[in-house]
Amino acid sequence: MTADKTGPLGGVKVLDLSRFIAGPLCAQILGDFGAEVLKIERPAGEDSRHHGPYWQDESIYMFLYHRNKYAATLDTRHPEALGILERLVAWADVVVENYRPGTLEKMGLGYERMKEIKPDVILVSISGFGQTGPDAHRGLFDAISQASSGLMSMTGEPGGKPTLSGTYIADYTTGYQGAIGALAALMHKERTGEGQLVDVASFDTMFSALGIRLIAQLMLGLEMPRSGSRDLLTAPVNVYDALDGPIYVQAGTASLFARICEVMERPDLAADERFATVDGRMANQDYLEGEIGAWVGARTIAEVSRLLQDAGIPYAKVASVAEVAQSPQIAAREMVVEVEHPELGLIRVPGNPIKMEKTPPTVRKAPPRVGEDNAHVYGAVLGMTPEEIARLRETGAI
């Protein structure tokens, strides 16, 4: 069993009908905190299983979002599929899905039907544009969310093309929001006995994360341009090239600017009235960045880091993924977790970023291969006999 009876969600049963990132991540978060999660996918495996790169013929893409889950297969177009899904809904406390709105209804398993089967069921529906509104019918992937929400227009260098984030930030953030919605719904259910629909849209999630640019538009009608690696509100803040690579330096507040002037041995900059205020430094950041860049460029990252650290100025070497994955800080925070797979051997996956004193998240089961747990799901959970399971396999249902 993947359920952790000592975890805060021990005893909670989750049916994961989702695929790709946002939905599976939502279900995985619940699993990390002790829920028993059953993932249902088509017999050939969800599309993500066919994306490289691969480890022993298994897509490592799947390693990111499917630990602490049982994986079972089901052809949802098979004549017996609806009956099986209804039995799984009756078992579940929470159902997670990210089909396009209306798909579950076409399958005969919309939210109203789920409530008939399990009156207190919680349905977490994750979609591109939500269950309502003129764009509800539209399909969406992460990049579409970044483009449509305004995020892409903010990203990149001034005067350059809008740029995607380097990771699937919309999918990740939407998965987190889905998990928050599920937890709130579980709390409400505990208090009242009522289930509910949790409607989470990637578009909404990204729109809500636009920050100061959004509120500046709403309140002031102000359109803030792309700022590259600069800070929107303070200066000087940017990436500078040291002798052996880039380093990011945050010296935008009055106190930090005074400190970097001292570190650089430039009392003239500290005394210059042009740089005495935030507005003044923002107006003259090209000049200030040129002076700081020249100072950084004559030194190694280690030299700059030591001087800035001693002065209490925030900084960071612009690390590669390989460098940060091997850093002592990542090790200390247990952000890389090793889990043994019965067939694939040792797998390394990202740890859960939430650290809790009493009920920490755990990784108890490796990401499963396609259909790995059919016997458990159809046998132990649904009570089918080996003969019934074999018949379903023979008819192509699973």
Active site residues: 171
Strands 13-16 and 94-97 come out as parallel
Cβ-based neighbours of 3, under 8 Å, separated by 6 or more: 10, 11, 12, 34, 35, 36
Of 97, 2, 117, nearest to 40 (Cα)? Answer: 97
What whole-number distance in Å separates Cα of residue 235 and Cα of residue 277?
10
What whole-number distance in Å separates Cα of residue 82 and Cα of residue 341?
31
Say which residue the tokens 């090790």 belong to: 331
User: SS3 for 328?
Assistant: helix
Phi, psi values for residue 33, rounded to 5°: -100, 20
Give CA 91 to chain center in angstroms: 27
Give, for 90, the enclosing helix (H) or strand (E): helix 81-91
DSSP assignment of 172-225: HHHHHHHHHHHHHHHHHHHHHS--EEEEEEHHHHHHHT-THHHHHHHHH---PP
What whole-number distance in Å separates Cα of residue 380 and Cα of residue 384?
8
